[in-house]
Structure 1
């Protein structure tokens, strides 16, 4: 039997249990509520990190495609500071811009757009020089042909030699150093324009081309058009009813407009647009410019309005430097002065660049050159002599070297610096650096090694 005091104790115990139950239930609810919040926070963190990872992966994969020299993309991004460009010490950096078809396009490596962007790094101005795709030139390790095939023959000779082979051909015509190259295809051209929201172009004259693949091209001169990538490509590629020279001028117009749009504040501050542009570059652009050098070019370009960009086409209409004629069964462009005679073109370019023309070139120096065979391959020195005669060297002699086991070709400069233009051209021709010495009756001695035999 429970007495009064016991009932009071039991009642107090029950009240405590009920209160403890309420407190525990409240804690469980709080814990359950926090558990849900925790899950949401964790999901947000995962989503955020996934977004960063996706962006980083896109940037990583794109950079790996663009730069084929083993650069670590994360190192690139972490150390992206502008660096001095080649040629900047002399006040001018020259970049070869090449445009070609898409990989599945017939003749995809034919570079139908060939343009040099010469950047004055002192006053932040630029000159665009377009060279006709049908220009007839001597192509290294191939012979005379249209310049738009130089890339193809360079790649056929050795994988990866296409850019340098084209660069050498352009440098021979203009007689200026070409420091860098960038090659883009049709898709890069179209997608880059679409990524920045299109470009505005005002044609200087009417353009009507009913022969363009995929439909008629029709633009009125003096009217401003907002062009997407596909329309801009048609405008830049059409040539059936005009000329290759006119097409080059239109390509320059589109490039200048794209540069203005791409470097605008709105474009650069849009992460999606930047990501799209990086992706486009990775899939469709190849260059030997390094990321820090690209950053430097961007910094210069931001200070360069369209009024500081001049453009010219080496043509027969305005400059009157070249003409068109048949060579074999092919229509080609070549200097008015004659095939391989570029002096007038070079004078014109020097004047535009406000550069003082060199007092002499290697042909004027008439250097005496001894070519020695450093191998057991009979006639190799004579082969080199014939090839250098084609380059314009006149005072050439041949002989045998002190040894026949030279694996690499050597150039030895005995002129004491008096034949610098000849040395520079020979270094470019053989792809090596000359050594200096004294004690020879010849200005220059070339010992051809086994490496020369494999190239010839």
Structure 2
């Protein structure tokens, strides 16, 4: 028997020991041979009790406890330890048996999960392979999300260049016949875009095939003729700078695509898109340049391209385009007779290209498209074969998020040829003359500026009510220097005027009104009629009265 250790200096009792007994071996031996006497003595008291007799008015004693425990020890049977096999058998018996249906469901779910994981893994693999060809930086940076670069107005600007280098038989396949600038405001969730006429005459900063000046569409391939990734990035960067300088805009990103990307992307996102034809011709738009797609003879063309035998032939209004028709509508400009609806040639083509890009964006962002693994895989392949850019991998998630947050109604077109005072003429050159870009820059600045003074461009009339010669012109120059659209400087009618009085005509232009009020110490903008008659487009009349030093 093992020795039992004492606790806190006390020696534990041995089995059978009595309260008050001597705890040593000799005493135990003597007591063992003594006759059993169950009479309980009480040190001289008269009351004598037998051991085990019920004692009224007394609590449970130590001897009672020992006796009870001894009985338990003698009667208790030790529990038999179960083997591991027995425990498993008992656990299986307790489990509810699965039916054949439950097992089939479980197997089906497992197989489905394996298929999904395999498909997702393949898409991830394809993205890694293709992404290295498209984007800049480590492809695994796609799991991070960095904000897009911005200009001083908080906008991210993209230059999109389209070539026909994927068409071996196309003359001038390396020319950027499609040039589009897209400007995105991440904070206010809007975007503006405008097309650059391919025939616009510009000065190159280097010798090119046309010389030191020529059409803007020749510059991209003039930068270098190498076919490395570094050479492509150099072409993008230098073309971004040239076009950015001309239009007065800081372009942070460049994208180079070929025409095939339009067809492949449309196929990847479902095979069709919807656009609206808005032609000046009541019949819509028709270009016979692509009728060879309908067949080799008159009969085949009418059979394959009803009702008139033309591959590109659409009425005004909403139409549905499959991938092939989207590709060729993006190229149509009515350069071969018979044709109609393309009176402005490249300008009409550029407008259709913008509509197709917006339609692709809407379809790609629609519910279901970007959650379809097959569509994602096809989209990745389409971009990988036909697109190059200097967008970094850690900016992709931000770009997709921004694109999804901008509503179609907040995507605007800046026209360079429409309106009462178009800044470009029918030849694709500035209305002010070749290489004269000031009006173009002012138009772009007005649309993209975050400063309401610039973006609202509210016409302002400045009147001198001080009686001091030249004072009105001095104040007008100050306002113009801050970007205000001062259209007239004159003398105010005779009268007593305060230091500054500002009248607002009509509603809107709240940004300009707030700026003017703050500029002149919180002066209250008057809504009453000003003391002089002005042209109908004027929105503010400012009268400078008392001169103070």
What TM-score do you get using the length of structure 2 for normalisation?
0.52
Whole-angstrom distance in 2 between the partners of 1:316 and 1:144: 27
2:313 corresponds, among 219, 224, 230, to: 219
Whole-angstrom distance in 1 between the partners of 2:311 and 2:414: 24
Structure (1/2) with the larger helix percentage:
1
1:60 corresponds, among 128, 138, 161, to: 128
Any residues of structure 2 matched to 1:28-177 within 5 Å, and which? 51=119, 54-67=122-135, 69=136, 71-73=137-139, 75-77=140-142, 80-87=143-150, 90-105=153-168, 106=170, 107-142=172-207, 143-156=212-225, 159-160=231-232, 161-177=234-250
Q: 1:47 to 1:163 in 2, by over 3 A?
A: same
Say whether residues 1:202 and 2:276 are aligned partners: yes
Partner of 1:238: 332
CA drift of 1:315 comes to 2.8
Task: Answer whether contact 1:100 1:112 (CA < 8 A) is retained.
Answer: yes
Q: Which runs of 5+ in 1 are unaligned?
A: 1-39, 326-332, 361-456
Deviations 1:52-81 (A, max 9, x none): 6543432221011113x4x443x234xx23
CA drift of 1:271 comes to 0.8
Task: Answer whether contact 2:123 2:376 (CA < 8 A) is retained.
Answer: no
Runs of 4+ in 1 over 4 A off after TM superposition: 42-53, 316-319, 355-360
1:322 corresponds, among 401, 419, 424, to: 424
Deviations 1:299-327 (A, max 9, x none): 112121110000123237775212245xx
Q: 1:353 to 1:340 in 2, by over 3 A?
A: same
2:355 corresponds, among 253, 262, 268, to: 253
Q: 1:88 to 1:339 in 2, by over 3 A?
A: closer
CA drift of 1:294 comes to 2.3
CA drift of 1:138 comes to 1.5
Deviations 1:345-391 (A, max 9, x none): 0111111123556969xxxxxxxxxxxxxxxxxxxxxxxxxxxxxxx
Whole-angstrom distance in 1 between the partners of 2:363 and 2:409: 15
Deviations 1:89-117 (A, max 9, x none): 74211111111114343333211111111
Task: Answer whether contact 1:138 1:169 (CA < 8 A) is retained.
Answer: no
The CA RMSD over aligned residues, in Å, is: 3.1
Q: Which runs of 5+ in 2 are unaligned?
A: 1-107, 294-309, 455-479, 483-549
What TM-score do you get using the length of structure 1 for normalisation?
0.62
Whole-angstrom distance in 2 between the partners of 1:318 and 1:277: 42
Whole-angstrom distance in 1 between the partners of 2:419 and 2:313: 22
Q: Which stretch of the first structure deviates more once superposed, 137-146 or 337-346?
A: 137-146
Whole-angstrom distance in 2 between the partners of 1:299 and 1:209: 37
Task: Answer whether contact 1:217 1:235 (CA < 8 A) is retained.
Answer: no
How many corresponding residue pairs? 311
